[in-house]
């Protein structure tokens, strides 16, 4: 699908000209991922009109690729019995996600319509927090016992390969009580003699996660070991499901968004059981997410105001002093933000650790001093030339150099200190450090100015 | 490995007590991903001492998990013939990455020592830009011809399953000239009758990427279709290799880091063929990466200074006016940054598109007006109480409300406009918008103040 805009135009044309058979054929010829993209661009009524033209298998596949709001919207708009047929075609973890996103009474209606076994498995999945392994895992897993032979395991894989929702990479070895004992990869099975028992080839040293493990932890383990799937167990080591790379991919995107929004002072977890995200949720949700750190900034900036206000006689004597304040605060803030960003990102990719922290503090300080010196000199010369006042140039330049150096050091050290105190460095970093840099920068500048005024 | 700090202590103890056999046993019992973590925490001489104790297979696996600088460091420190044996055990794409990170003459030395076929394949890989599909792909691919039967294909997979570096998910169908004709998944092969020819079950509608496609594009395709592997072809549709999810995971992490650093005004691609990243590269590299946008901020802030300087008589008459400038600039900057961050991230996850942009502009404007009203009122009251001056309170409060609303609108619209102009919104967003908001915010505030002073 080279150009989605053209495709959308083409589809809208077919809808308008009422050539239903052609529309049906064209829609069904797209890959489900492309259809999901197309549906996100269509108007709600067009979307519905197109969706009901899809073959049922295709329709279920498309549901999987759609974002949660659209899944719920479409399933709510179509015929209820069609909706429950589609839900029953989804992999268990997807079905649980979709049903979990609906209103509670709606969820119940569908659960009662679904096949007994399916719906009881979904009910169990719905008991887990959706940000934990239990809320992410697929409970359909290939299992064998200790004494199964390689041939029997391969035959079982062959039978299950028909079902798209079952992963084939690994077979898990369990006992009668479903305790996880070992794991064998499909790769290993393919290379071993047919009559060997699994117990002789299985790997007993299993990397696994717990149903209550938080999603960020799962992503870290996954990225570290680079397995294709991870088994999920409960507290008694019963095998409950598996997590695969496409689940992890969603987690990583979500965690990265959280990290980015958090460091700009947006609260991503309001803890009000409200799934809405900041961009698409209600206006009230968006305001609540953004006010807390702005309010803390407000307090910080009032401190800056009261510090600055002590120099009122300075402003009366030499008003140009006031005019330079935005310059100093702006550049201090920017270079400080660069340092914070480098450190917070470095910590989240694992490049910066507490033990290697000193190296980065030293390096960033050198960077701050160097850039501070360059910009200090530049600002001195420009100010001298512009205001025809060498001393003013010297003061502003010196304040700039000091300010940028201090801002870099604060921006580098604070995330490390927060991490040491086991506080998420992203949470408090952005807005608070920016305000601190503002206050300190202004204090440095105005102190230099006062010394100068006293000395003349 | 529950606690890496304890493990490191334990290993350092064994090194100091010179109990080599025990150290060797313990090291070889770790998973290679754990060893890579451990090695990153050890001092260089300890690292070398431990590395040479590893079995060769294990050592090659560990190399794969290490970051590039450490790969080159360790291979440079160990015996040259051991190093070339280890390199020859790596998957082709990893070997090419390692050799590509070395000095050119070193690369040549190793290439001459490696087996003829291996080294000629690596030479071809080294001709591709490392940020393109060609630079990322693994050239070892399972291929069959049109007429191969299911049974023969499965037998071939079985033989190749021995080699860890060959992916088994898909078998690609090529003609005699190695043109890519179709693809069959291992899952499909397992479910079909043994004597069917591949041509009857292969998928001809292949999602593929081009050797010169940029890595960000590959990650997008991968994430969209959620395949386990993607084939890479040249301009004549010759199959050249495959890209797998663990390659894509590295790309996504790298692209995300670039996005985050770029939006804080750090230039991530200096285009000087220098691979160093901003955090670990040379001091000069770090300074060069950070100065460009700071310099543009400097120019912007000088504009702010000259705007502000026009109000020198105001500062003389009412110096407290100057003291409130940091408050207004600080909060305007923060709420504006929140909007920029939401929009840039929304665009990079695909949630915000140009066609849905209006919806977000409207929503963000409402958010800005609401928060502006709340903070404006708050600031009015505090200022009135503190300075005992109702009119000053009114001015500062009104300026705050206006400023926050305008900042939100600028922060929301600018990324969309840049995207429309086909400029990466992250590039110009952070520092430039912050400066623009500073200048406009100060102008609004000082204009209000002047009206007030004229009116009294």
d(CA B268, CA A92): 42
Assigned token pair, B120: 């000629």
Question: ipTM for the complex?
Answer: 0.79
Please indicate whether, in this complex, the C-beta atoms of B330 and A304 are within 8 angstroms of each other.
yes
Assigned token pair, B129: 């830009």
Q: What is the DSSP letter of B161?
A: T
Please indicate whether, in this complex, the C-beta atoms of A366 and B191 are within 8 angstroms of each other.
no
- The tens digit of pLDDT for each residue in B277-327 reads 777 778 888 888 888 888 988 888 888 888 888 888 888 888 888 888 888
A172 and A231 Cβ atoms separated by less than 8 Å: yes
**Among A225, A278, A286, beta carbon nearest to B33:** A225
CA B441 to chain CA centroid, nearest Å: 33
Q: Computed from CA positions of residues B164, B168, B172, B175, in that sequence, does the dihedral angle turn out positive or negative?
A: positive
Please indicate whether, in this complex, the C-beta atoms of B309 and A323 are within 8 angstroms of each other.
yes
pLDDT of residue A431 exceeding 80: no
Please indicate whether, in this complex, the C-beta atoms of B338 and A298 are within 8 angstroms of each other.
no
pLDDT of residue A131 exceeding 60: yes
Residue B309 with chain A: CB contacts under 8 Å: 319-320, 323
Assigned token pair, B309: 């300087």
**Among A260, A298, A338, beta carbon nearest to B375:** A298
Nearest residue of A to residue B305, measured between CA atoms: A323
**Among B157, B253, B261, beta carbon nearest to A190:** B157
Structural Rg of chain B based on CA atoms: 30
A204 and A180 Cβ atoms separated by less than 8 Å: no
Q: What are phi and psi of A431, to 5 degrees?
A: -60, -45
**Among B302, B327, B431, beta carbon nearest to A304:** B327
B244 touches chain A (CB under 8 A): no
Please report the pLDDT score of residue A106 as a whole number. Answer: 87
Helix, coil or strand: residue B296: helix
Residue A331 with chain B: CB contacts under 8 Å: 294, 297-298, 301
Residue A382 with chain B: CB contacts under 8 Å: 302
B74 and B63 Cβ atoms separated by less than 8 Å: yes
Residues 55-74 of chain B whose Cβ lies under 8 A from any Cβ of chain A: 67
B199 touches chain A (CB under 8 A): no
A426 and A263 Cβ atoms separated by less than 8 Å: yes
B3 touches chain A (CB under 8 A): no
Assigned token pair, B168: 């088994």
Please report the pLDDT score of residue A188 as a whole number. Answer: 92
B388 touches chain A (CB under 8 A): no
Residue B378 with chain A: CB contacts under 8 Å: 298
pLDDT of residue B1 exceeding 70: no
The whole-chain average pLDDT of chain B stands at: 88
A428 touches chain B (CB under 8 A): no
B116 touches chain A (CB under 8 A): no
Structural Rg of chain A based on CA atoms: 30
Assigned token pair, B366: 């409402």
Please report the pLDDT score of residue B317 as a whole number. Answer: 81
- The tens digit of pLDDT for each residue in A353-376 reads 887 788 889 989 999 999 999 999
Assigned token pair, B369: 């007006």
Half-sphere exposure of B261 (CA within 13 A, CB side): 22
- Residues in Cβ contact with B35 at an 8 Å cutoff, skipping those fewer than 6 apart: B27, B54, B58, B62, B65
Assigned token pair, B404: 């926050």
Please indicate whether, in this complex, the C-beta atoms of B326 and A349 are within 8 angstroms of each other.
no
B330 touches chain A (CB under 8 A): yes
A53 touches chain B (CB under 8 A): no
**Among A187, A246, A430, beta carbon nearest to B168:** A187
pLDDT of residue A429 exceeding 70: no
Residue B331 with chain A: CB contacts under 8 Å: 294, 297-298, 301
B1 touches chain A (CB under 8 A): no
Closest CA to A71 of A59, A56, A53, A81: A59
Furthest CA-CA distance within chain B? 97
A377 touches chain B (CB under 8 A): no
Percent of chain B with pLDDT over 70: 97
Q: Distance, in angstroms, between A81 CA and closest chain B CA?
A: 28
pLDDT of residue A272 exceeding 70: no
pLDDT of residue A435 exceeding 90: no
Nearest residue of A to residue B363, measured between CA atoms: A283
Residues 167-186 of chain B whose Cβ lies under 8 A from any Cβ of chain A: 168, 186
Half-sphere exposure of B265 (CA within 13 A, CB side): 27
Please indicate whether, in this complex, the C-beta atoms of A351 and B308 are within 8 angstroms of each other.
no
The DSSP bridge partners found for residue B138 are: B242
- The tens digit of pLDDT for each residue in B66-96 reads 988 889 889 989 988 899 899 988 888 889 9
d(CA A343, CA A334): 14
B163 touches chain A (CB under 8 A): no
- Residues in Cβ contact with A276 at an 8 Å cutoff, skipping those fewer than 6 apart: A282, A285
pLDDT of residue B101 exceeding 90: no
Residue B327 with chain A: CB contacts under 8 Å: 298, 301-302, 304-305
B397 touches chain A (CB under 8 A): no
d(CA A443, CA A432): 17
Q: How many residues are recorded in chain B? A: 456
Across the range A103-118, mean pLDDT stands at: 88
Residue B257 with chain A: CB contacts under 8 Å: 345, 349
A435 touches chain B (CB under 8 A): yes
Look-up: residue for tokens 């209550």? A212
Within 10 angstroms of residue A355's Cβ, the number of other Cβ atoms is 12
Q: What are phi and psi of A112, to 5 degrees?
A: -75, -25
Closest CA to A28 of A56, A65, A55: A55
pLDDT of residue A385 exceeding 80: yes
pLDDT of residue B379 exceeding 80: yes
pLDDT of residue A438 exceeding 90: no
- The tens digit of pLDDT for each residue in A292-326 reads 888 988 888 888 888 888 888 888 888 888 888 88
Closest CA to B164 of A203, A221, A224, A191: A191
Percent of chain B with pLDDT over 90: 34
Q: Distance, in angstroms, between A97 CA and closest chain B CA?
A: 18
Assigned token pair, A25: 């054929």
User: Could you tell me the strand order of the sheet in which B229-233 lies?
Assistant: B209-210, B229-233, B239-244
B337 and B365 Cβ atoms separated by less than 8 Å: no
B391 and B452 Cβ atoms separated by less than 8 Å: yes
Residue B31 with chain A: CB contacts under 8 Å: 205, 207, 225
A181 and A169 Cβ atoms separated by less than 8 Å: no
DSSP state letters, B82-142: HHHHHHHHS-HHHHHHHHHHS-HHHHHHHHHHS-HHHHHHHHHHHTS-TTBHHHH-B----
Please indicate whether, in this complex, the C-beta atoms of A438 and B326 are within 8 angstroms of each other.
yes
Strands B209-210 and B229-233: parallel
Q: What is the DSSP letter of B203?
A: B
pLDDT of residue A160 exceeding 70: yes
Range with lowest mean pLDDT among A27-31, A368-372, B350-354: B350-354
- The tens digit of pLDDT for each residue in B113-166 reads 888 888 898 999 999 998 899 999 999 999 999 999 999 999 999 999 888 788
Query: Does A174 or A422 have the greater pLDDT score?
Result: A174
**Among B305, B319, B346, beta carbon nearest to A323:** B305
**Among A246, A315, A371, beta carbon nearest to B294:** A371
Tell me the count of A-B CB pairs closer than 8 A.
279
**Which pLDDT band holds residue B275 (cuts at 50, 70, 90)?**
low
Across the range B351-371, mean pLDDT stands at: 88
d(CA B280, CA B286): 8
Query: Does A182 or B296 have the greater pLDDT score?
Result: A182
- Residues in Cβ contact with A202 at an 8 Å cutoff, skipping those fewer than 6 apart: A173, A181, A182, A183, A184
d(CA A105, CA A102): 8
Mutating which of A39, A257, A264 best tests the B interface, going by the most B Cβ atoms within 10 A? A264
**Which pLDDT band holds residue A214 (cuts at 50, 70, 90)?**
very high
- The tens digit of pLDDT for each residue in B388-426 reads 888 889 999 999 999 999 999 999 999 899 888 888 877
d(CA A420, CA B174): 56
Please report the pLDDT score of residue A20 as a whole number. Answer: 85
**Among B253, B286, B351, beta carbon nearest to A349:** B253
d(CA A271, CA A385): 55
A207 touches chain B (CB under 8 A): yes
Look-up: residue for tokens 């989605």? A4
**Which pLDDT band holds residue A2 (cuts at 50, 70, 90)?**
low
**Among B207, B293, B366, beta carbon nearest to A283:** B366
pLDDT of residue B271 exceeding 70: no
Please report the pLDDT score of residue B19 as a whole number. Answer: 81
B322 touches chain A (CB under 8 A): yes
Please indicate whether, in this complex, the C-beta atoms of A382 and B334 are within 8 angstroms of each other.
no
Please indicate whether, in this complex, the C-beta atoms of B430 and A337 are within 8 angstroms of each other.
yes
B235 touches chain A (CB under 8 A): no
Nearest residue of A to residue B190, measured between CA atoms: A158
Q: How many residues are recorded in chain A? A: 456
Helix, strand, coil: what percent of chain B each, to 5? 70, 10, 25
d(CA B90, CA B401): 61
d(CA A142, CA A189): 13
Please report the pLDDT score of residue B2 as a whole number. Answer: 52
- The tens digit of pLDDT for each residue in A398-413 reads 999 999 999 999 999 9
- The tens digit of pLDDT for each residue in A60-102 reads 999 999 988 889 889 989 988 899 899 988 888 889 989 988 8
pLDDT of residue A275 exceeding 70: no
B88 touches chain A (CB under 8 A): no
The full 3-state SS of chain A, as one line of letters, equals CCCHHHHHHHHHHHHHCCCHHHHHHHHHHCCHHHHHHHHHHCCHHHHHHHHCCCCHHHHHHHHHHCCHHHHHHHHHHCCHHHHHHHHHHCCHHHHHHHHHHCCHHHHHHHHHHCCHHHHHHHHHHHCCCCCEHHHHCECCCCEECCCCEHHHHHHHHHHHCCCCCCCCCEEEEECCCCEEEEEEEHHHHHHCCCCCEHHHCCECCCCCEECCCEHHHHHHHHHHHCCCEEEEECCCCEEEEEEEHHHHHHHHHHHHHHHHHHHCCCCCCCCCCCCCCCCCCCHHHHHHHHHHHHHHHHHHHHHHHHHHHCCHHHHHHCCHHHHCHHHHHHHHHHHHHHHHHHHHHHHHHCCCCCCCHHHHHHHHHHHHHHHHHHHHHHHHHHHHHHHCCHHHHHHHHHHHHHHHHHHHHHHHHHHHHHHHCCCCHHHHHHHHHHHHHHHHHHHHHHHHHHHHHHHC
Q: Distance, in angstroms, between A307 CA and closest chain B CA?
A: 8
Residue B329 with chain A: CB contacts under 8 Å: 326, 329-330
């Amino acid at each position: 699908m080279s150009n989605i805009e053209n495709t959308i135009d083409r589809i809208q044309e077919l809808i308008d000209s009422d050539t239903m058979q052609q529309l049906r054929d064209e829609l069904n010829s797209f890959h489900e991922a492309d259809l999901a993209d197309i549906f996100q661009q269509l108007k709600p009524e067009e979307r519905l009109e197109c969706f009901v033209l899809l073959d049922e298998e295709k329709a279920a596949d498309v549901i999987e690729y759609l974002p949660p709001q659209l899944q719920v919207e479409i399933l709510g708009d179509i015929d209820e019995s069609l909706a429950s047929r589609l839900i029953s075609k989804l992999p268990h973890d997807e079905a649980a996600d979709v049903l979990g996103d609906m209103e509670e009474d709606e969820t119940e209606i569908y659960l009662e319509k679904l096949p007994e076994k399916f719906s009881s498995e979904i009910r169990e999945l719905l008991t887990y927090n959706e940000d934990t392994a239990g809320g992410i895992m697929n409970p359909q897993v290939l299992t064998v016992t200790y004494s199964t032979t390689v041939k029997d395991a391969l035959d079982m894989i062959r039978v299950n390969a028909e079902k798209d929702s079952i992963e084939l990479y690994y077979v898990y070895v369990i006992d009668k009580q479903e305790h996880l004992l070992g794991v064998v990869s499909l790769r290993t099975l393919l290379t071993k003699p047919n009559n060997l028992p699994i117990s002789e080839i299985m790997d007993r040293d299993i990397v696994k996660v717990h149903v209550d493990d938080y999603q960020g932890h799962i992503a870290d383990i996954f990225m570290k070991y680079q397995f294709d799937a991870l088994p999920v167990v409960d507290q008694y080591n019963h095998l409950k499901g598996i997590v695969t790379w496409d689940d992890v991919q969603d987690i990583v995107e979500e965690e990265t968004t959280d990290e980015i929004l958090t460091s700009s002072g947006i609260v991503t977890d309001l803890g009000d059981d409200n799934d809405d995200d900041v961009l698409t949720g209600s206006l009230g949700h968006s305001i609540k997410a953004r006010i807390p750190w702005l309010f803390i900034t407000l307090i910080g900036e009032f401190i800056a105001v009261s510090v600055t206000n002590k120099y009122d006689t300075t402003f009366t004597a030499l008003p140009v002093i006031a005019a330079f304040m935005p310059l100093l605060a702006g550049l201090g803030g920017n270079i400080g933000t660069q340092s914070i960003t480098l450190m917070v990102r470095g910590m989240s990719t694992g490049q910066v650790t507490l033990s290697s922290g000193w190296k980065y503090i030293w390096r960033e300080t050198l960077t701050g001093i160097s850039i501070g010196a360059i910009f200090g000199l530049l600002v001195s010369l420009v100010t001298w030339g512009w205001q025809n006042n060498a001393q003013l140039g010297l003061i502003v330049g010196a304040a700039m150099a000091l300010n940028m150096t201090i801002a870099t050091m604060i921006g580098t050290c604070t995330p490390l200190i927060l991490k040491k105190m086991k506080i998420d460095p992203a949470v408090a970093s952005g807005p608070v450090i920016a305000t601190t840099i503002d206050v300190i920068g202004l204090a440095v500048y105005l102190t230099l100015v006062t010394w100068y005024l006293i000395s003349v």
